[in-house]
Structure 1
Amino acid sequence: MEERFQCCALTLASSEHPKTKEEEMDKNMTMLGRRSFLAGMGIAGIGTLAACAPKASDNPSVDELADTGAETVSAASGPKEVTAETVRIIPTGEQMSLEELNEKRQALIDSKTEDYTMADGTVVPNVYVKLRALFDGYGNGLGSVLHDAAFGEVMHLFTPEDAQAYLEMPMGVMFTADQYAEKSGRSAEECAALCEDLSARGLLFRSRSDGEAKYHQLAEAHGIWEYNLNKYEENQGEYVNLHNNAYGADIRFQLFNAQSCFYNAIPCSREVVGDSSIALPYDDWEAIVSKFEKIAVSPCQCRLSHKATNEEDPGDHPLETCLTLGEEAEFYIENGIGREITQQEALEILQRSVEAGLVIQVANSEKTEVICSCHGDCCDILGAYVAMAQNPKKDPSNVNVFEHVSHYELRHNEDTCIKCGSCEKRCPLFAITMNDEGFPEVNGTCVRCGQCGTVCPVGARTLHLRDKILQLPESLLDDYNMKAKYRFDHFMIR
């Protein structure tokens, strides 16, 4: 019998963008309003918004999208195997230098010359308007469209003096207190004290790895939101609500069209990879953990924030699953938002996550500072994929990020498949349905995590390296800058 495969991996072209900033902003304004979008998604938090929604560049409906990931080929012609040596690395295409990026950031900040007056007459001081603009210029940003709740989070976390000091710091780089002093004109002693205070409060990243304290400014996520997880349960989730309400109405367009994803899904197990080896070191959680001596575990920010606002975890998943590594782990441990664990403990946590049916996701960087374990029924990121697939009204246009959510494609061998339905029950994104012939089909939300392969009794579902993948930035800070360059270059920030 001729062996047949279904190859499940979306191939999405980058969206066309309007030629002018005005055209882009007009387009953004046609998107759902902030509150109606959040309410429609039914999920709160940055992950909900930051998710890479599954949508092909030709803008099919969700029903059409369910069929775009499958292709049947014969084993004779063969799906060509790709290796680490033959995979094509796609450059991000952003030629903007850091100096040019910082000029755009500064111009954005300088353009905010007035206070913001709310509908009830409350005045937000201009320094907060500028500070929010700065955060919008990092990573996926906050959304550029302002509204009365847009400043609640920054005003909760920063005093006006903090905000002014933050605006005077070097942008987009690691810096010392002396370098901060040189840029700002403040004394080195004052700058050192400010940096230590702000970093201890989770508002500035800090590294002491080479014996000298260095710092960098943060994006909203992964950054300020995660570093303040100890505040989630204070005052009935006050901070969580301020955070959730801070986004602009254009955030959906920004996040779904940033080219690169917030987190990348990696194979949950070596056993589900077709050639029994994971080709890329940053796709192998066992190899990632083995590189680091300093590791921390902390509560899942998604599940903890939901708990803080009295939302039940429908899957009763373990809470302490978020791993940070290297310098990131040192920061978590020193700030009291994570506890130090051994490599063996980290491996055991990840193995338990796999056995619990969770998706393993990693930070969008070669350093892999973060490993996340979550599920589509509770994760803000994965839950957004599920919501987009299940509700056509929330199906975004011009999405270009979902192609790069994984470096792998999922292949299904129909000749081996016994049509048992185990994969459908296991899928953490509810992306699998059994067709009229009894075979499993996946919709566009499949992130190629491999969980379906772990329960297939005949090994009919395997992951294989894609022939081209997006180049990863070196670190989270580089990811902040890469995403900001793309968003500035495509007229998303104003």
Structure 2
Amino acid sequence: MGKVNQYKRLAEALDNVSTGFPSFFGIERLGLKKLFSEEDAKTFADMIPRECQTPAQFAAKNGCDEKWASEKLYDMSKRALIYRRRTTEGEECYEYCQFPFAFGLIEFQGAGNPDKSYLPFMGAYAGLSKYSDGLGATMPMYRSVPFRKEMVVDNKVLPYDDIEEVLARHDRFAVSVCVCRDMHDNKECNHPKETCIITDDMADFYVENEMGRAITRDEAREILVSGEEDGRVIQITNSKNAENICSCCSCGCAMLKIAGRFSRPAGKQWGNYHVACVDEEACVGCGKCAGACGFNVLSVEDGKVKVPEDLFGCMGCGRCVFECKTGALKLKQKPEEELYEPPEDLIAAHNAWHEMKVERVGK
């Protein structure tokens, strides 16, 4: 019997998490070899898929020593190859889980690993493989929410889309670099890099791994407010719990670029709101709203703003509403039959993405 290829097992395990990690002529394994030792690869592949697990559960599944499992899983989590969070059993009691290629391995490594030798391989993989096709065919990784409920007609904002309620729901916050801006280094992007907000258990993981720094709720709010001023968009992890709150820009954010490429069918899930002209008489045809939209949704015709009937590409971010100083534009909640209710937390979202992926490709 030949030697088991642990990197092939690792790639297959990653393909079994979230939106998947489809093979592409082995390029993906070249990048993984830069991050994972062979033992790391085997350990990741041996974990229970899409579930948090204690060292005792891992040891029972794989017939290994629990002390070894505890030390190994902790070590891998400190190198941000897997995710770690505390259990209710005590301060130093942890459970671990596999995280996908994104949001996960790429962001964790981008924030905490100074060795970027894996990036050329992963960049080639992301650009050439069918990975992006999967992102466009399933529930989006993030969704846009308004900066303020006052931007929305009748202040109708769902509780899990109200950024103030989202912030109030969490106790602990951290901020890290925006990995998209940091890795792409777009010379035309002048937005600050330290804008990626992480909450609660994920915040602990980032701070303890020195991938980010602890901040207060007020500091998190200030980051988002500054984004409204300089043209960034609030995107939150596609879960009610909103473990990650991004302050993104269309010039640097990979997810916003994907939104522009894949606005159907998943586009209807990028947000629960869309732009609407609520007072055509107030419009002075200045064009600031059209200039602010990163997806070319709006235009000005005959001295008035034109909102297309199909709203193709509109993410409901509210950038245009912020720029409209006459009150002609507001966001409007979508019809009830089109509203989107996200999974409870990120682990539940991983399972939802996986189910969609299995339905789409059959495995």
Structure 2 Cα separation of the partners of residues 114 and 228 of structure 1: 32
Rounded to whole Å, the distance in 1 between the matches of 2:211 and 2:145 is 25
Could you tell me which runs of 5 or more consecutive residues in structure 2 were left unpaired when the two chains were aligned.
Answer: none
Q: CA deviation at 1:138?
A: 1.1
Runs of 4+ with >6 A deviation? none
Query: 1-side partners of 2:85 and 2:61: how far apart?
Result: 20
Distance 2:264 2:16 in 1: 20
Please report the TM-score for the alignment, with normalisation by the length of structure 2. 0.91
Output the TM-score relative to the length of structure 1. Answer: 0.68
Aligned partner letter, 1:434: V
CA shift in 2, pair 1:405/1:114, >3 Å? farther
Residue in 1 aligned with 2:299? 433
| Aligned-partner Cα distance in 2 for 1:417–1:472 | 35
Separation (CA, whole Å) in 1 of partners of 2:74 and 2:15 = 23
* 2:282 match: secondary structure: coil
For 1:360, what is the secondary structure of its paired residue?
strand
Q: Number of residue pairs matched?
A: 354
8 A Cα contact 1:232 1:305, kept in partner? no
RMSD: 2.1
Contact 1:411 1:463 in 2 (8 A): yes
Which residue identity does 2:130 align to in structure 1? D
Q: In structure 2, what is the equivalent of residue 293 of structure 1?
A: 171
**Cα-to-partner distance string for 1:182-236 (whole Å, 9 max, x where unaligned):** 00100110110111011101111111152231111111111111111246653xx
Tell me, in whole angstroms, the C-alpha distance in 2 between the residues paired with 1:129 and 1:490: 22
Residue of structure 1 aligned with 2:220, choices 322, 325, 346:
346
Equivalent residue, structure 2, for 1:409: 274
Q: What is the Cα deviation at residue 345 of structure 1?
A: 0.7
Change in Cα spacing, 1:492 to 1:153, as seen in structure 2 (3 Å) is farther
**Conservation of the 8 A alpha-carbon contact between 1:297 and 1:322:** yes
Q: 2:215 & 2:87 partners in 1: Cα distance?
A: 18
Q: Distance in 2 between matches of 1:385 and 1:164?
A: 35
Instruction: Give the one of 327, 349, 358 matched to 1:479.
Output: 349
Could you say what secondary structure the match of 1:143 adopts? coil
User: C-alpha separation between the residues in 2 aligned to 1:198 and 1:154?
Assistant: 14
Distance in 1, matches of 2:259 and 2:170, equals 31
Q: Cα–Cα, structure 1 residues 252 and 292, in superposed 2: closer, same or farther, change >3 Å?
A: closer
Aligned equivalent of 1:257: 137
Partner of 1:140: 19
Deviation (angstroms), 1:252: 3.4
Q: Does 1:421 align with 2:287?
A: yes
Whole-Å separation in 2 of the counterparts to 1:492 and 1:460: 47
Q: Check the 8 A contact 2:14/2:21 in 1, yes or no.
A: yes
Q: What residue number does 1:450 align with?
A: 318
Given the alignment of the two structures, is residue 462 of structure 1 paired with residue 330 of structure 2, yes or no? Answer: yes
SS at 1:151 equivalent: helix
SS at 1:138's partner residue?
coil
Counterpart CA distance in 1 for 2:124 and 2:54 is 33
Whether the 8 Å CA contact 1:141–1:219 is kept in 2: the answer is yes
How far the C-alpha of 1:492 sits from its partner, in A, is 5.3
Q: Choose between structure 1 and 2 for higher RCO, CA contacts under 8 A separated by at least 6 residues.
A: 1
- Contact 2:111 2:176 (8 Å CA) reproduced: no
2: CA distance, partners of 1:182 / 1:232: 31
Q: Which residue does the alignment assign to 1:55?
A: none
**C-alpha displacement of 1:153:** 1.9
| Cα contact 1:136–1:143 (8 A) shared by 2 | yes
**Partner Cα separation in structure 2 for residue 215 and residue 231 of structure 1:** 18
Q: Which stretch has the larger CA shift, 435-444 or 460-469?
A: 435-444
8 Å CA contact 2:16–2:354 kept in 1: the answer is: yes
Say whether the 8 Å CA contact 2:35–2:118 is kept in structure 1: no
Amino acid at match of 1:446: C
Identify the structure with the greater helix proportion: 2
Amino acid at match of 2:121: L
**Letter of the 1:240 counterpart:** L
Q: Residue 249 of structure 2 aligns to which amino acid in structure 1?
A: H
More displaced 10-residue stretch of structure 1: 342-351 or 158-167? 158-167
* Displacement of 1:135: 0.4
Q: Could you tell me the percent identity over the aligned residues?
A: 29
- What are the superposed Cα offsets for residues 354-382 of structure 1, whole Å, 9 maximum, x if unpaired? 11111100001111000011111111111
Whether the aligned pair in 2 keeps the contact of 1:272 and 1:453 (CA below 8 Å) is yes
Amino acid at match of 1:420: C
Partner SS, residue 470 of structure 1: coil
Q: What amino acid does structure 2 have at the position aligned with 1:165?
A: T
User: Distance in 2 between the 1:114 and 1:304 partners?
Assistant: 42
Shift of 1:277: 4.8
SS of the residue corresponding to residue 447 of structure 1 reads coil
What is the correspondence of 1:33-52 to structure 2 with a 5 Å cutoff?
Answer: none
2:358 equivalent in structure 1: 488
CA distance, structure 1, for counterparts of residue 176 and residue 15 of structure 2: 26
Superposition map of 1:91-110 within 5 A: none
Which residue is equivalent to 2:52? 174
Instruction: Give the equivalent residue in structure 1 for 2:243.
Output: 369
**What is the aligned partner in structure 1 of residue 71 from structure 2?**
193
Contact in 1 for aligned 2:277/2:307 (Cα 8 Å): no
Secondary structure in 2 matching 1:253: helix
Distance in 2 of aligned mates of 1:290 and 1:161: 41
> Is the partner of 2:214 in helix, strand or coil?
strand
Indicate if the aligned counterparts of 1:375 and 1:383 stay in contact, CA closer than 8 A.
Answer: no
C-alpha deviation, 1:385, in angstroms: 3.5
- CA 1:214–1:320: 2 relative to 1, 3 Å: same
Instruction: Show the counterpart of 2:206.
Output: 332
Q: CA deviation at 1:305?
A: 0.8
Which residue identity lines up with residue 275 of structure 2 in the other structure? L
In structure 1, stretches of 5+ residues that fail to align are: 1-112, 116-124, 389-395
Q: CA deviation at 1:269?
A: 2.1
Matches within 5 A, 1:314-325: 314-325=188-199
